[in-house]
Amino acid sequence: MRDRKAKIVATVGPASSSPEQLRALFEAGVDMFRLNMSHGTHDDHRARFEAIRALEKETGKPIGILLDLQGPKLRVGTFADGPVTLQNGALFRFDLDPKPGDVSRAYLPHPEIFAAARPGVQLLLDDGKIRMEVQEHGKDYAVGKVITGGVLSERKGVSVVGAVLPLDVITEKDRRDLEFGLGMGADWVALSFVQTAQDLHDARKLIGGRALIMSKIEKPAAVDVLEEIVEASDAIMVARGDLGVEMQPEEIPAVQRRMIKLSRQYGRPVVVATQMLESMIHSPTPTRAEASDVATAVYEGADAVMLSAESASGKFPIEAVTMMSKIVANVEKDPEYKRLILNSHPGSRATIADAICASLGTVASVLPLTAAATYTTSGSTTLRAARERPLVPIFSLTPSIETARRMSCVWGVTPVVIRDIEKVSEIVAFATEVAKSNGVAKDGDIMAVTAGMPFAQSGTTNLLRIFQVGGV
């Protein structure tokens, strides 16, 4: 058991790929590992999959794996004489002519941009360092006026602000990566550059039930239909890096807060990501602002916080995880955190399952509960219980290792694999055993369990049992 409720997701890369490093990261506090398919080969990731599964077997603790797809990347072509300098106020043309560009034009092999362009739409290049506004366009070109100039070199990324691009959220590369990752047993799939709820529906047809889907919110178009996307997703990632390219920095905190609130409302786990401890790529300690950033996400109720380059390619991956874990644990000891969590209940829906789990939250606030346990096959009972944010440990008891792994990014949950259950008395017995073995319950303590009957039928949460440990 961790000494905190918010979870830690860490990206695996060159600095953290060896079995020894993965074990050290797990012991430092990692709950789920992220494999970024934008970098590395399938052979690289296969070795990481196998090392994580070996670590899981060795520790006996379910460990989730998040397969993060690259998504559609939009890039300019090449330049005949190297980088060009674009001056403020100048006009610059993008077209489908593959010839190397110059200071007045460049190849842009993405007709979908021209299809969506219209006067007023902004084109951002090189992570927003260069900004243009579309003045005119056709089916195979667009002319932009440079608002913020700078040096543009070949293959730099392009973002479009003010239009929804007709893009397939899963590219051909993503399809290959997806089949590889699902074949290896990935637990979650992160979709990059989601723009609409339909993107989720399309992806689910490909993925089926082989993994859960985490939507990365990286574009203003997604923010415009955020509630629809949250409802269609299994989880949300607040991907502040790319989102910060297309939105103004001062807008991001409010958007992050809204994402966390909506995700909680719909019972979807939410991960806050990007640049959380950025300076720890090169330094053994974070800045005070970074520590506050991690703390803010926890205070707001995020299920998990994530490390990217800090753990994938930084000089201090173990220190970064250790520091993040300390920050989270320290926030959760603050009485103000407990007050915020208790006062931020999103309200329950008029279903039996939600009523049962809302009752669990009430019981945890009224009785001196020491722990709660859920018995679940799909994870839905556990997700509903975690949504209530009872300030006691939640043990997710499940006969499915796949479900246990998927719960590794959910607030307050310790997943435990047990055998199939046939009686309520067995759930009570297993819950008692697990709570005692983890040192959170003793004879005379009060616990609660939730489950769905008939057992093994997904989405039927209808049982709440309160009992005294060691009682008859």
Which segments of 119-237 does DSSP mark as H helices, in order? 172-184, 197-207, 220-224, 226-232
Sequence-ordered strand ranges (E) for 79-175: 84-86, 91-95, 105-107, 122-125, 130-138, 141-148, 150-152, 158-161
SS3 state of residue 306: strand
Sequential DSSP letters for 344-365? T-----SSHHHHHHHHHHHHHH
CB-CB contact of 396 with 414 (8 Å): yes
The letter for the amino acid at 213 is I
| DSSP 8-state secondary structure symbol assigned to residue 92 | E
User: Among residues 61, 75, 204, 436, which one is catalytic?
Assistant: 75
Whether residue 357 contacts residue 384, with contact meaning beta carbons closer than 8 Å, is answered with yes
| Options 274, 376, 398, 432, the catalytic residue | 274
Element (H, E) at 4: none
Distance CA 348, CA 362 (A): 12
Question: Contact, 307 vs 8, CB < 8 A?
Answer: yes
Q: Which of 4, 5, 7, 34 is catalytic?
A: 34
Residue 244 contacts residue 252 (beta carbons within 8 Å): yes
> What residues pair up with 84 in beta bridges, in sequence order?
152
Question: Is 449 in contact with 342 (CB distance < 8 Å)?
Answer: no
Nearest to 404 by CA among 426, 430, 440, 377: 377
Q: What sign does the dihedral 71-37-153-100 (CA atoms) show? A: negative
Q: Which residue has the tokens 């939640």?
A: 394
Residue 326 falls in the annotated catalytic set: no
Q: Which residues contact 425 (CB under 8 A, 6 or more apart)?
A: none
How many other CB atoms sit within 10 Å of the CB of residue 87? 10
Exactly one of 5, 48, 131, 216 is catalytic; which is it?
A: 216
Residue 31 identity: D
DSSP, collapsed to helix, strand or coil, labels residue 376 as coil
Dist CA 125 CA 443 (whole Å): 63
Residue 46 known to be catalytic: no
Active-site residue 34, yes or no?
yes
Q: What is residue 114's three-state secondary structure?
A: helix
Q: Which amino acid is at 400?
A: S
If residue 250 lies in a helix (H) or strand (E), which one and from where to where?
none
Token pair 């003010």 is at which residue?
Answer: 162
Question: Can you state the percent helix, strand and coil of the chain, rounding each to 5?
Answer: 40, 25, 35
| Residue 219 is a catalytic residue | no
Catalytic residue positions?
A: 34, 75, 216, 274
